[in-house]
Structure 1
Amino acid sequence: MNYRKLGKTGFSISEISLGTWQVGGRWGEPFSHENADKILNAAVDAGINFIDTADVYGDGESEKAVGRLVRSRSEQIFVATKCGRRLQPHTADAYQPAALRQFVEDSLRNMQLETLDLVQLHCPPTEVYYRPEIFELFDRLREEGKIQHLGVSIEKVEEGLKAIEFPNVTTVQVIFNMFRQRPPELFFKEAARRDIGLIVRVPLASGLLTGKFSPQTHFAPDDHRAFNRHGEAFDKGETFAGVDYNTGLEAVAELQEALGPQAPLAAQALRWILMFDEVSCVIPGASSPEQILANLKAAELPALSPEQMQAVREVYDRRIRPLVHYTW
């Protein structure tokens, strides 16, 4: 396992880490603590030391599983959680310091930890980034010893650029993959200049970049890949990176031909992300220990050649850029 610095937190974290949206159960299934324990322990056994969760994952059950892991292991494990999505309705006006404080305290209780390594605002509405009192709250929470660092999880590049103007923001979690190539154009450079840790989520475009889907692939009705393709439930960009499904399949076929069969497309897609030095880590999800091991194969791959990088860019420019580039 290779490790990279998480910006000005100073944490040295595994470049391939773990996102826990589906840990403990596949989409729509009840949360399984037995399955979660297997996945989380397999991750740590493999050298992963950074785990991203949220209070809404499994309605708090994911946080409980992560906390149990941290308390049961001797290794140093950095935990990032998120807050804000429990607000109903999820509007800018609903973001109030008292509500966010309560969410942080709830996360501490869920995980049975004394302090949280990293708390991230969970994709708040854009207006929230213009309210200093929201960010000032986390200075108070740090002074009280309840958190160590503040980060944000964003939908839009513009939100990331605004967020890093606040000096207490140490990390930004952003969607970045072969189908979402806008962030390096400006945002990555600004983040590096301010020593911001970059956490990459949705690295496989909700599975599209595994190369395992087809027009006949069926998703369960309660799977976001079935019900949120047009943003019916939350930001469209969280599902298939906002790319039309059939267009994505056509682009995947071209990528597979361009990159060759030397490694699975999923591993090559993760390795492509790690080609960008500004990235601190990528957090693919896993619903089994076997998926952990498959994801980690990306770290063993050689660097993509300039010709391969250009081929990925060419597919994006021709098929994907006109549809999504300036949306997020």
Structure 2
Amino acid sequence: MPEILDQARTQVLENGVGLDEAGVLAVLNLPDEHLSAALQLAHEVRMRWCGPEVEVEGIVSLKTGGCPEDCHFCSQSGLFTSPVRSVWLDIPSLVEAAKQTAATGATEFCIVAAVRGPDARLMKQMREGVAAIKAEVDIQVAASLGMLTQEQVDELVDMGVHRYNHNLETCRSYFPNVVTTHSWEERWETLRMVRESGMEVCCGGILGLGETVEQRAEFAAQLAELDPHEVPLNFLNPRPGTPLGDRPVVEGKDALRAIAAFRLAMPRTILRYAGGREITLGDLGTRDGLLGGINAVIVGNYLTTLGRPATEDLALLDDLKMPVKALSATL
């Protein structure tokens, strides 16, 4: 057994203390013959510190496309030639999407907008939308609206938004290669305000942006320092017309190594399957990840890419004897 896995068994599994950056890097560099052992240990860590339940979430875009930022992976940027164009969702459609999400057994419904940060129109739409959802649907409402002011943070709390997603996307040292229109530090400041407000912090990123293995380990360590309630783990699904549109897809074994490593860095965090797992891992790899540290999934489609049908994910969870977390357990 590699030394790093022996260390993790004591430090992480027994004591609940996550691996540091050097330890994460050691896991990311494990040869293929030790991948199964790493995934098994990560699964044991998840079961001990998080339990067997899986949190299911659906997402919907309130405002799609036309974003002024230049995130190089994103087809919603108005600066690229990708085919996504600006569209707003009306309140009845938002409520219907929440109902459809709740019907899958999901406890989380996240409202997303492609913006640098919300303006007065978007905040008004959010207030009306959240109120309409809460009046008709028994589901937790989360939001992802870009960078916030303190006033906007307070307003979201007042609306009843219980979790805020704002991804750091990648490590601090690599971020300028991915985004130039705002800084990593600006994102961190929003996350600080969200945490201090009492809302749950949801923060993850995308693997396969061109970062090195060392930078992947740096990212895991920075997320562990933030200590978010939830980490959505995306794998780049290259979008036509974006600067990263020609990048190769992350190798399945590297993706699984990352899942194990991120779980061993953050033993108590909700680690959520998000975008790109379909093309990176496929059906078999998706199963392996659920048995390797993942304990939450986004069901259905993503913002601009197709996901797996919710019925397939729910059937897989049933096959693995992993119960879907009840809404009462999230309140």
TM over 0.5: no
State the TM-score, normalizing by the size of structure 2.
Answer: 0.43
- The one of the two structures with greater contact order (alpha-carbon pairs below 8 A, sep at least 6) is 2
State the TM-score, normalizing by the size of structure 1.
Answer: 0.44
